[in-house]
Amino acid sequence: MRKVFSIVFLLSFFYSYSQDFIEKAQVNGSFQLDGQYYHADNAIGINDSTIDGRKLGLNGFGNISYTLGKFSAGVRYEAFLTPIAGFDPLQQGNGVPYMWASYQSDFIGVTVGNFYEQFGNGLILRTYEEWTLGYDNSLNGMKLVIRPATGITVKAVYGSQRYYWQKFENGNRGIVRGLDAEIDLNSTIKGWESAPIRVIFGASGVSKYQKDSDPLFNLPENVSAFAGRMNLSAGKFNFATEYANKINDPSAINNFIYKEGQAVLSSLSFSQPGLGVVLQLKRVDNMSFKSDRGVDGNALDINFLPPINRTHSYSLAARYPYATQPNGEMGMQFQLNYKIPKGSKLGGKYGTGVAVNFSQVNDIVRNPINDTTPVNSQGTLGYESDFFKVSDHIFFRDLNIEINKKFSRKWKAVVQYMNLYYDIATIEGHAGEEPVKANIGLVDVTYNISNRNSLRLELQGLFTEQDDGDWAAAMLEYTIAPTWFFTIADQYNYGHPDKSQQNHYYAFSLGYVKQASRIALTYGRQSEGVICIGGVCRQVPASSGLTISLSTSF
């Protein structure tokens, strides 16, 4: 079917643009290759049998797209031969998992083939890809976008989702259908264009179909979810909220319970030059929504439940990342950004940036549906949960303060303190392990030797009694703008309770950047850890060896 569509598209545009299709067209693309060569390193627990002959991991992709006026088409080739350590073995393979053609005008847009789409915050539908995680849940089908009047957008999508390299056939997974409408009142209603309040409403519905071939349960073959959202902005204030509801959707993730699901995400912010404050609240209850009820890994998600805590960039601060618990959580997040003005006593010549961030996520309260059924029993309604009740069980808490200061043209620094509570038993599935309570401090100092040459030193410490104990990290980077960088880094797990595992994880990197091309080489050790992007996390095993990363766009 896809073949027919593509041929029709290609033919129709050849016919109408036969003179222009070479001169006026544009072809763009990008390319990336990440490779790792592993070697045994007994000190950090990697021996020849862990490598098991897979000495080389190579993940690569190439994108290419063709645009001619309102028409565009493209393909992406991917090869994971073999996948880099930590990627799902199902990733192994090569081919063209992504191929599309589209026509876009002001009134209508049509896409056939593979596509990415998001309704609102994604609470009931979001397809996207994260190369660094090996995550891709793109839809393969059709997408239609219509803008019947200024400020009104209606989108309709249907298709099947990508599951690594497995073709969709014989109903081996579900079909997804969705509709979304958004209205921006200020653009639609005459006279409201410059009103002091800006109002946007949106509504969406998604339905999935998957055959019931389960002998134990009487399963719903069509599962729908609905969401409504609103965005209000008035002057310095902005309020946004989205509510989503899903009907009974027993699945491997929720232990086959028939309860309905809910999610709410709200934020209120105030900001003016030099000051920004935002408060976010979230509740998730039984809201995992996948196009295959049997899948329990990081794949085939129809929706996206955003974790709202801060995503840290410094290595030790990012050591314990949080991932949304789709079966239930209640969270809040507060952030304050303030710039102490230039010329004031604390602000100095350039001003000083201060950021305070706090987030906490707790479990929801689950009460049994009756006296005889334990909470969350399969084949029942599962549990009852009071919308406003918060459980005492804390999944995650992060308080961090960051100060950003430029002292002179030569010197600047970032200082950060962070206090963390991390329920490793829930988040990483290490049952019975004590929650990690950690204090993390770091300093990042930059010294500009000249306009083009600069040195940057990062010192970090992570102090905890739990898990692997204390860590210290240091990194020195030398850059020659805009082309070269060299770094030398070490992470030292000096507080590991097992003395034989108090390892150094050293690494040397160098890189060269020219325009949109970048090549980087790293040699050294990588400690075991978790990488999370969005709600998806990937366990990265310890490794030792040479890493190469090549990327270019044209």
Partner 1 sequence: MKKYTLLLIALLAFIFISGCDKIDPPYVNTPGDNGGGEEELVQKVLLEDYTGHTCVNCPAAAKLAGDLKQLYGEKLIIMAVHAGYFAEVESPPFDLDLRTQTGNSWNADFGVISYPSGMINRGFFGDRRVVGKGDWAPRVATAVGIDPKAGIEIETTYNESDRKLEIKIDSRFLENTNENYFLQVCLLEDSIPGAQRNNDASVGDTPTITDYFHRHVLRKGVNGNYGEAVTAGAIVANENYTHEYSLNLNADYKAKHCSVIAFLYRTSDNEILQVEERHILE
Partner 2 sequence: MKAVLFSFFFVLLLLNPGLFAQTDIPQVVIKTLDGKQFNTAEIDNDGKAIILSFWALWCKPCQKELDAFNENYQDWHDETGVKIYAVSIDDSRSTARVMPMVNGKGWEFEVLLDPNGDFKRAMNVNMIPHTFLIDGDGKIVEQHTSYFEGAEYELYEKVKKISGIE
Residues 305-364 that bind partner 2 (CB under 8 A): 306-308, 310-314, 335-339, 350-351, 353, 355
Q: In angstroms, rounded to a whole number, what is the distance separating the alpha carbons of residues 446 and 473? A: 17
Residue choice 18, 213, 451, 500 for contact with partner 1 (CB under 8 A): 213
Residue choice 41, 184, 301, 428 for contact with partner 2 (CB under 8 A): 184
| Interactions with partner 1, residue window 404-443 (CB under 8 A) | 425, 429, 431-432
CA angle 311, 552, 60 (to 5 degrees): 75
Q: Which does 374 bind (CB under 5 to 8 A by kind): partner 1, partner 2, none?
A: partner 1
Q: Nearer Cβ to partner 1, position 300 or 442?
A: 300
Contact mark string toward partner 1, 148..167, x via CB under 8 A: xx--x-x-x---------x-
Least distance in Å: CB of 163 to partner 1? 9
Q: In angstroms, rounded to a whole number, what is the distance separating the alpha carbons of residues 318 and 321? A: 6
Q: Nearer Cβ to partner 2, position 127 or 254?
A: 127
Residue choice 267, 487, 509, 527 for contact with partner 2 (CB under 8 A): 267
Q: Nearer Cβ to partner 2, position 29 or 220?
A: 29
207 is an interface residue for partner 1 by CB under 8 A: yes
Least distance in Å: CB of 278 to partner 2? 4
Q: Nearer Cβ to partner 1, position 148 or 235?
A: 148
Residue 154: exposure state from Cβ atoms within 10 A (0-12, 13-18, ≥19)? middle
Q: In angstroms, rounded to a whole number, what is the distance separating the alpha carbons of residues 322 and 209? A: 31
CA 85 vs CA 77, 409, 511: distances in Å: 21, 42, 22
Least distance in Å: CB of 65 to partner 1? 29
Least distance in Å: CB of 213 to partner 2? 31
Residue 449, C-beta contacts closer than 8 angstroms, at least 6 positions apart: 455
- Which residue from 183, 189, 279, 285 is spatially nearest to 229, judged by alpha carbons? 183
Contact mark string toward partner 1, 295..334, x via CB under 8 A: xxx-------------------------------------
Least distance in Å: CB of 230 to partner 1? 18
Q: Nearer Cβ to partner 2, position 257 or 316?
A: 316
| Interactions with partner 2, residue window 237-256 (CB under 8 A) | 238, 240
Q: Which does 293 bind (CB under 5 to 8 A by kind): partner 2, partner 1, none?
A: partner 1
Least distance in Å: CB of 16 to partner 1? 24
Contact mark string toward partner 2, 90..129, x via CB under 8 A: -----xx--x----x-----------xxx-xxx---x-xx
Distance from chain centroid for Cα 21? 37
Buried b (16+ CB within 10 A) or exposed e, 48-85: eeebeeeeebbbbbbbebbbbbebbbbbbbbebebbbb
CA 371 vs CA 135, 240, 264, 365, 377: distances in Å: 42, 40, 29, 16, 12
| Interactions with partner 1, residue window 233-272 (CB under 8 A) | 247-248, 250-253, 255-256, 258
CA 535 vs CA 328, 539, 554: distances in Å: 13, 13, 31
CA 205 vs CA 49, 129, 176, 533: distances in Å: 49, 22, 11, 26
Q: Which does 490 bind (CB under 5 to 8 A by kind): partner 1, partner 2, none?
A: none
- Contacts with partner 1 by CB under 8 A: the residue count is 59
Q: Which does 259 bind (CB under 5 to 8 A by kind): partner 2, partner 1, none?
A: none
| E strand or H helix at 411 | strand 411-422
Least distance in Å: CB of 133 to partner 2? 13
Residue choice 172, 255, 298, 517 for contact with partner 2 (CB under 8 A): 517
Half-sphere exposure of residue 530: CA atoms within 13 angstroms, side-chain side: 19
Residue 80, C-beta contacts closer than 8 angstroms, at least 6 positions apart: 58, 59, 60, 87, 91, 92, 93, 94, 134
Q: Which does 278 bind (CB under 5 to 8 A by kind): partner 2, partner 1, none?
A: partner 2
Q: Nearer Cβ to partner 2, position 75 or 253?
A: 75
Residues in the chain: 554
- Which residue from 358, 380, 362, 359 is spatially nearest to 371, judged by alpha carbons? 380
Q: Nearer Cβ to partner 1, position 20 or 465?
A: 465
Q: In angstroms, rounded to a whole number, what is the distance separating the alpha carbons of residues 539 and 530? A: 5
Amino acid at 121: N
Least distance in Å: CB of 16 to partner 2? 17
Q: Nearer Cβ to partner 2, position 105 or 378?
A: 105
Q: Residues 137, 320, 505, 40: what is their CA dihedral angle, to the nearest 10 degrees?
A: -50
Q: Nearer Cβ to partner 1, position 178 or 534?
A: 178
Least distance in Å: CB of 143 to partner 1? 14
| Interactions with partner 2, residue window 56-95 (CB under 8 A) | 63-67, 72, 75, 95
Q: Which does 405 bind (CB under 5 to 8 A by kind): partner 2, partner 1, none?
A: none
| E strand or H helix at 6 | helix 2-16
The single-letter DSSP state of residue 21 is H
Buried b (16+ CB within 10 A) or exposed e, 224-257: bbebebbbebeeeebebbbbbbbebbbbebbebb
Binding site for partner 1 (CB under 8 A): 88-90, 146, 148-149, 152, 154, 156, 166, 169-170, 172, 177, 179, 181, 205, 207, 209, 213-224, 226, 247-248, 250-253, 255-256, 258, 292-297, 373-380, 425, 429, 431-432
